[in-house]
Amino acid sequence: MLTNTIHTEIGNLPIWTVIPFIGILLSIAIVPLINDKLWHHNFPKVSAFWGILGLSLLFWQAETPHLVTEIKHVGLEFFSFISLIGSLYVIALGIYIEGDLRAHPVVNATIMLVGSVLANLMATTGAAMILIPFLVNTNIERKNIKHTIMFFIFTVANTGGSLTPVGDPPLFLGFLKGVPFLWTLTLIPNWAFTVGAIIVVYLIVDTLMYNSEPKSAIIKDETQTAAIKIHGGANFFLVLAVIASVIFLHEGLRELVMIGSAIISLIITPIKGVEGRVNTRKKNEFTWFPVKEVAILFAGIFVTMIPALAILKSSGASLGVDSPIKFFFATGALSAFLDNAPTYLVFLSTGQGIPWPAGSELIVDVPVKVLAGISTGAVFFGAMTYIGNAPNFMVKSYAESRGIEMPSFFGYMLWSVPILGIIYLAHSYIFLG
């Protein structure tokens, strides 16, 4: 997700080579519905099965020298991906926001708004993992919580990070490809409309949920409030170090800084704590499981999506995508299920290959509105599924580790598709039409 090239020169692949990719997606979606405990004990085997099958089909169909290069590239990309995600997770959970506010709809909405701003300064992963423990602690007395976690994913883990190249990997890749660093700030109206609309919908939903809460839960929530204090604040500097490494350092040294920052975080805010100080990780109920789950599942996804991206790149120009709205929905629809960073680059390349009318305002050889469609589509649609963006799965896994029963893969989409679909449709006609 952090590299600036796509290596998909592996020949013309038949469409059935994407079966393992579809298989791993369906496994993530269906198996937990059938038997959640079975899934949690066996998801590494499922990921390994589809990954090995995917590689077998590739070696059967693809040109070996190019395939070896592609696998090497994907391996390095995955290492960069898990270094970023893992380091931000470790560092963020070294920060503990003490306090317990009233679990009122306006309070929750404010946390989401603040997180949506922070996502542009410390990436969606950093902002999400810093704030999700506080959000859970604030709402733990309530019976209806899962919708709040989902709207948090919609905003902080996705749409919130659309204003800077730091916010989300696709925008960083655009920066590496020549998009001016500050250009994404022109998307402030898009950001404000989308984040604002999601939060308004949340306020309506949560007000209804809040009014249906048992009276005992509301009384308990109101009597257990406490002032806000921040512990482990030195970790904020380590978050900045990770973000700076993404912006300024090259592959290899960048990952070294990320991993080193995570190690320093574990030293200054250790898992077992230090006598006389607040144990931030214990307070946040830190476990390694979310990182383990994301690493194992996304390893399989990275491998099996190779043919999907190759086919998309070879035939992308023939898809009839030739307007800002079409680029928005095409980039978005695939970003909900594929890695949004290479999907962004594929459609950026597609846009650069179209002979646009003379006089069009271009940035990196693409009309401004088309670039806006590609950028917002890649970031916004990550909220459509649990696998659309890595923080989604980490937030879900963390919430479940705190005893919150989250919706299944399809259960989540029953919320995301109608709510976000209507908002994104309105966004496209207001800003991209």
- In sequence order, the β-bridge partners of residue 366 are 363
Residue whose tokens read 């998801």: 43
- Window from 279-293, 313-327, 331-345 with minimum mean pLDDT: 313-327
Distance, CA of 66 to CA of 55 (rounded, Å)? 13
Share of the chain above pLDDT 90, in %: 46
- Considering the domain boundaries, does residue 21 fall inside one? yes
Provide mean pLDDT across the span 265-288. 90
Binned at pLDDT 50, 70 and 90, residue 10 comes out as: low
Q: Specify whether the CB–CB gap between 246 and 2 falls below 8 A.
A: yes
Q: Measured in whole angstroms, how far is the alpha carbon of residue 31 from the centre of its chain?
A: 22
Q: What pLDDT does residue 74 have?
A: 84
State the chain's mean pLDDT as an integer: 88
> Does residue 378 sit within a domain?
yes
- Per-residue pLDDT tens digits for 137-155: 899 888 889 999 999 999 9
What's the pTM value of the predicted model, to 2 decimals? 0.80
Tokens standing for residue 93: 């959970």
- Least confident range from 60-69, 73-82, 365-374, 416-425: namely 60-69
d(CA 235, CA 270): 12
Inform me whether the pLDDT recorded for 241 exceeds 70: yes
What whole-number distance in Å separates Cα of residue 351 and Cα of residue 355? 9
CA max distance for the chain: 69
| The total number of residues written for the chain in this structure | 433
Residue keyed to tokens 């490494």: 245
DSSP 164: S
Split into its structural domains, the chain has a count of 1
Helices 64-92 and 306-315: angle between axes, nearest 10 degrees:
110
Compare 66 and 329 and report the one with higher pLDDT. Answer: 329
Question: Does the residue 5 lie in any domain?
Answer: no
Residue 262 covered by a domain: yes
Q: What phi and psi, each to the nearest 5 degrees, are found at residue 197?
A: -65, -40
Owning domain of residue 24: 15-432
- CA-based torsion, 7, 249, 131, 332: positive or negative: negative
* Residue 77 in domain: yes
Q: 253 or 310: which carries more pLDDT confidence?
A: 253
Per-residue pLDDT at 264 exceeds 50:
yes
Flag whether 9 is in a domain: no
pLDDT band with cut points at 50, 70 and 90 for residue 313: low
Phi-psi region of 216 (alpha: psi -120 to 50; beta: other; left: phi over 0): alpha
Instruction: Tell me if 27 is assigned to some domain.
Output: yes
Decide if 73 contacts 7 (C-beta within 8 A). Answer: yes
With the CA atoms of 340, 92, 266 and 96 taken in that order, what torsion angle do they form, in degrees rounded to the nearest 10?
-160
Q: How would you class 399 by CB atoms within 10 Å of its CB: exposed for 0-12, middle for 13-18, buried for 19 or more?
A: buried
Among candidates 169, 108, 189, which has minimal Cα distance to 142? 108
Task: Give the residue-averaged pLDDT of 109-122.
Answer: 94
Place of tokens 């519905």: 33
The mean pLDDT of 71-85, rounded to a whole number, is: 86
Q: What's the rounded Cα separation, in Å, for the pair 84 and 363?
A: 28
* Antiparallel, parallel or unpaired: β 362-363 and 366-367: antiparallel
Element (H, E) at 230: strand 226-231
- Whether 1 is in a domain gets the answer no
Q: What are phi and psi of 398, to 5 degrees?
A: -65, -45
367: part of which helix (H) or strand (E)? strand 366-367
pLDDT digits (tens, 9 = 90+) for 364-399: 889 999 999 999 999 999 999 998 888 898 899 899
